[in-house]
Amino acid sequence: MKTLITNAKIFYQHHLMDGEMLFDEHEILDIAPTIERQEDWQVVDGQGLAILPGLVDTHVHLRDPGYTTKETIATGTMAAAAGGYTTIFAMPNVKPFPSTADVMERYLKNIEEHANVRVFPFGTITNDEQGKVPTNYRALKELGIHWFSDDGVGIQSEEVMALAMKRAKEADVMFSCHTEDMVYRKQKASVHESEYATQNGWIGIPSACESEQLKRDLVMVISNGLKYHADHISAKESVQALHAAKAQGADCSGEVTAHHLLLEDKDVKGPMWKMNPPLRSHEDRMALIEGLENGDLDFIANDHAPHTMEEKTRPMELSPFGIVALETAFPLLYTEFVENQKRWSLNQLIGWMAEKPAKRFGLEKCGKLEIGYRPDFFIADLNADVTIDPDTFQSMGKNTPFAGWKSVVDIKQTWFEGKPVYTKQK
């Protein structure tokens, strides 16, 4: 069936235009100020709201299989839809780890049966994320898996990483790396290493924990030619390392999370602000913002990491790392940087949250509203008055530091493959 949305502001060719959009379940058929309609079309009144491209998140923890008390494929992908995301990449630290073709086949079937939006799973870089034996990348690539990560742990052995990169280059696949050199991390560390941490009796994690292993990896990437992506960058030294590597021709990119753009170490009040990498200094946060603006960092991802409230209300050193983010990222970033500061344009934000991650991760016809592209989009009021309330989240995880924050964005509906998959309850 063909559907025509009328009376809308459509984000088309990098700006909002008054118009109409025609699509079916396969592709966008037309976008124009007016479209001559036919009787058999379904017509939807856009009510003057903004129609924006479905967002793409390359860093999501769905916790399923293995940790379904925290999140499931169904709830996690519904949270994605509620946040405007129509394509997400699922991190592989689930149980069993998707390190073999047999496990990955079962995982893909589970995704097909339960996902509400498009999900691409990562394979692991090393078997079961043990950091010892590289995964058989070719076997997983035959199943359509082109992306590999050991997210949650850094690969400590330079020799293992060098061998893994060699085999990944031969298989023509991409690495997405959480860099963390455990030499720099003390037991029970939970926040950024700073005077503020010491004042609160917290053990800190220095920036070198992230940046030194990233620098190690980038040296090998330059010589190897591997396609490499750096996860959740938090430190100014890491931004500088990516800048230098790109200048030398490395095929590398880097992401930054919404929480690292919005918060810093002195905002930390307890476990709801605990994530890995941690919120760092004001200087680091400014370097992340500027790095995104000048291209040293490439786009925004979320590291959506649901936990139970029982876990997140433990003492700081015992609480797990991570916050939920899918349902708050676009509303809060738009509110802060587009509406309040007027530092970014809507075009920049959509580029960093849809078009650029889609392009970097090789997704066809995603991330833009264009004729011939996938009919994936969300409908939002950009002049609303919304208070972030975790009790309304679609995610099972309610662990957010943003409870009570105000947003001017109210996401009303999300469409995936030409059909509505999320509608906000009034």
Instruction: Give catalytic residues, as residue numbers.
Output: 303
The answer to whether the beta carbons of residues 399 and 323 sit under 8 Å apart is: yes
Quote the CA–CA distance of 322 and 179 in Å, as a whole number: 16
Beta bridge partners of 32: 20
Integer CA distances (angstroms), 19 to 13, 210, 375, in order: 13, 46, 16
Q: What is the DSSP string of 266-281?
A: GG--SGGG--SSPP--
For residue 265, what are the CA distances in angstroms to 198, 259, 262, 290, 336?
A: 12, 11, 11, 18, 18
Burial 103-121 (b: 16+ CB within 10 A, else e): bbeebbebbeebbbbbbbb
Q: Which residues contact 136 (CB under 8 A, 6 or more apart)?
A: 100, 101
Judge if the upstream peptide bond of residue 96 is cis by omega within 30 degrees of 0.
Answer: yes
**Nearest CA-CA partner of 256 in 205, 213, 215, 297:** 297
The DSSP output letter for 139 is: H
DSSP H or E run through 28: strand 28-32
C-alpha distances in angstroms, 45 versus 7, 49, 110, 174, 385? 6, 9, 35, 42, 22
